[in-house]
């Protein structure tokens, strides 16, 4: 421990701490812009400069380590003037169309401008209009709003291990770009959206689908159905000022009805189908010499990563569609027949924590009924915008439940939204299918937690199954290299593209760099899902009565011909870069 004095107040902190961290111990907030804890700690923007006695000039607080006896001043006239100049320079050539920006009200640059009482720009820099990249189905990139903080680059390169974007050019010509300045649609981008979560401004955003959904809701000829993923219900409340991790499922359902959806269903029901199909597929592979280890396929960003980077390992992927795609196929087949609705008139909307789902719904082999399984995907953020556009007072809404019969799901489905959840849900079903016994112990703690890679050996009544769980694509690469080298001694693998799983997906509420540094966001959101699971009457996917009835009366056996026709898919090898001929 070392003793530091900041603004005439003493604090004891661990050796190796930065000035920024030490100041926060005293509730002294130092402004930052390029800083993102554990991801982008470079001190480039200079918004966090402070004065340190005995050191010449200004010192960046985000990367400067404290030493015993250090004396720091964070708000002297020289410091405040330096920060004001830095902020003015950043704003000088920034596209300041704040009112029409999706980050209006949740922009770190806007917040700093308010804090520094910016009422005019002293340095009105030269503006060069830059092209907007909106060719991908998932991400829009607008370099006119970019402030070159490089947080997106660090998230893509350091966290995900991809490097689809980087800084190009020099001086005033610098920009965040791609290989040969291609669209994100034509490079090795997986559409995970972690760059959007990292961006402090509106330079990166999800491709908006709300206009399409509003249009469908106004079309009297359409039967508009919505389904919501598990992670959405523990993230949506944050968009309305509620505590991180608050389960707002009841208010969310009420809001969706007020928006005009004909039916409000639960993607968790689709997750139960995924577990039964995936578990059946795993048992089939393990019993009859199929390709092992089998890897989960419910994360579309991960699937695209595999297709781009490891096409030779595609046979390891489960052929199961993700839960929302399965659900869409069931609604447009079994439900349409049961209710006497023409499937061509059903418009299926998925509310997801993930922007890669926008890409996934456009994939080939996602038309189990001859129609698109899903017609539109909106993110948690987009749903919040629709609720606000409709002037619905979300926090004051009464709770209501999902519509029958596609609103009944198990606790196992709820934990799909966090890393390890798919594996745990699968093990609950596989254990009973393999042994023919009923187990009361349902919590597999070995696959829980926030570690990027979790390995475990699970004893299923004398039968050992070795499993591994990875979240974040850089960690996925580690597992794939083991498989490629023939060093993988496990049979079942869960991989999620986003670090921490869907609760930290690219379509979830965006938190500031301060929140990300001081709050365990993943733990709070994931904890809410585990609470839903623990409170559920049914906690094993194969015990879902709706699922059992649909298999009995319509699909036949799990893994059978009709189930494969509707609920399974295929994959393709993809080129990393689509260059013009």
Report helix, strand or coil for 20: helix
> What is the residue-wise DSSP string for 219-251?
-TT-EEEEEE-TTGGGTGGGGGTPPTT---HHH
pLDDT tens readout for residues 38-81:
999 999 999 999 999 999 999 999 999 999 999 999 999 999 99
Phi-psi region of 105 (alpha: psi -120 to 50; beta: other; left: phi over 0): left
- Quote the pTM value: 0.96
Q: Which regions of 310-365 does DSSP assign to beta strands (E)?
A: 346-352
pLDDT tens readout for residues 393-426:
999 999 999 999 888 999 999 999 999 999 999 9
Report helix, strand or coil for 187: coil
DSSP code of 40?
A: B
> 354 vs 151, 285, 359, CA distance in Å?
19, 29, 10
Looking at every residue in the chain, the average pLDDT score rounds to 95
Give pLDDT, residue 80. Answer: 96
185 CB burial (10 A radius; 0-12, 13-18, 19+): middle
Average pLDDT on 432-457 reads: 87
pLDDT tens readout for residues 231-244:
999 999 999 999 99
pLDDT at 140 over 70: yes
What domains appear along the chain, each with residue ranges and CATH number? Answer: 2-91 (3.10.20.740), 93-119+127-206 (3.30.70.20), 211-567 (3.40.50.1780)
């Amino acid at each position: 421990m070392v003793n530091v004095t900041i603004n005439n107040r003493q604090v004891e902190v661990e050796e190796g701490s930065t000035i920024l961290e030490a100041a926060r111990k005293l509730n002294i907030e130092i402004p930052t812009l390029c800083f993102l804890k554990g991801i982008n700690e470079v001190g480039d923007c200079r918004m966090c400069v402070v004065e340190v006695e005995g050191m010449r000039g200004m010192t960046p607080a985000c990367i400067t380590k404290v030493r015993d006896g250090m004396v720091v001043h964070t708000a002297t006239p020289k410091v405040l003037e330096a920060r004001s100049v830095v902020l003015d320079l950043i704003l000088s050539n920034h596209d300041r169309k704040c009112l029409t920006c999706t980050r209006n009200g949740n922009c770190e640059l806007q917040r700093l401008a308010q804090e520094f009482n910016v009422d005019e720009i002293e340095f009105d820099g030269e503006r060069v209009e830059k092209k907007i990249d909106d060719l991908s189905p998932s991400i829009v990139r607008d370099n006119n709003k970019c402030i070159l903080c490089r947080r997106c680059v660090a998230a893509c390169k350091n966290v995900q291990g991809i490097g689809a974007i980087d800084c190009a050019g020099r001086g005033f010509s610098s920009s965040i770009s791609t290989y040969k300045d291609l669209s994100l649609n034509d490079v090795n981008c997986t559409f995970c959206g972690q760059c959007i979560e990292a961006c402090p401004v509106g330079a990166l955003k999800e491709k908006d689908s709300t206009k399409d959904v509003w249009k469908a809701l106004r079309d009297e000829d359409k039967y508009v159905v919505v389904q919501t993923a598990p992670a959405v219900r523990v993230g949506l409340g944050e968009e309305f000022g509620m505590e991180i991790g608050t389960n707002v499922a009841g208010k969310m359902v009420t809001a969706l009805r007020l928006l005009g959806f004909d039916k409000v269903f639960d993607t968790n029901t689709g997750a139960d189908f995924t577990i039964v199909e995936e578990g059946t597929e795993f048992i089939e592979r393990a019993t009859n010499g199929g390709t092992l280890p089998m890897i989960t396929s419910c994360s579309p960003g991960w699937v695209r990563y595999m297709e781009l980077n490891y096409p030779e390992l595609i046979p390891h992927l489960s052929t199961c569609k993700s839960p929302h795609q399965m659900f869409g196929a069931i609604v447009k087949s079994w439900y349409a027949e049961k209710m006497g609705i023409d499937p061509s008139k059903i418009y299926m909307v998925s509310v997801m924590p993930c922007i890669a789902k926008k890409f996934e719904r456009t994939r080939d082999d996602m038309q189990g009924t001859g129609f698109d399984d899903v017609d539109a995907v909106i993110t948690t953020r987009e749903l919040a915008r629709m609720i606000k556009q409709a002037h619905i007072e979300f926090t004051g809404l009464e709770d209501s439940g999902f519509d029958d019969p596609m609103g009944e799901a198990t606790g196992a489905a709820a934990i799909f939204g966090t890393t390890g959840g798919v594996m745990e849900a699968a093990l609950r079903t596989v254990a009973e299918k393999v042994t023919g016994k009923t187990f009361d112990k349902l919590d597999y703690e070995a696959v829980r937690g926030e570690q990027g890679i979790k390995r475990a050996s699970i004893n299923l009544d004398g039968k050992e199954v070795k499993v591994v769980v990875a979240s974040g694509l850089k960690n996925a690469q580690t597992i794939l290299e083991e498989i490629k080298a023939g060093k993988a001694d496990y049979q079942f693998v869960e991989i999620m593209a986003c670090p921490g799983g869907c609760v930290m997906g690219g379509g979830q509420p965006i938190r500031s760099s301060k929140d990300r540094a001081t709050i365990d966001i993943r733990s709070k959101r994931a904890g809410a899902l585990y609470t839903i699971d623990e409170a559920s009457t049914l906690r094993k996917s194969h015990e879902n009565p709706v699922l059992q009835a649909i298999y009995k009366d319509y699909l036949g056996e799990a893994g059978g011909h009709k189930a494969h026709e509707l609920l399974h898919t295929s994959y393709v090898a993809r080129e990393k870069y689509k260059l013009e001929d």
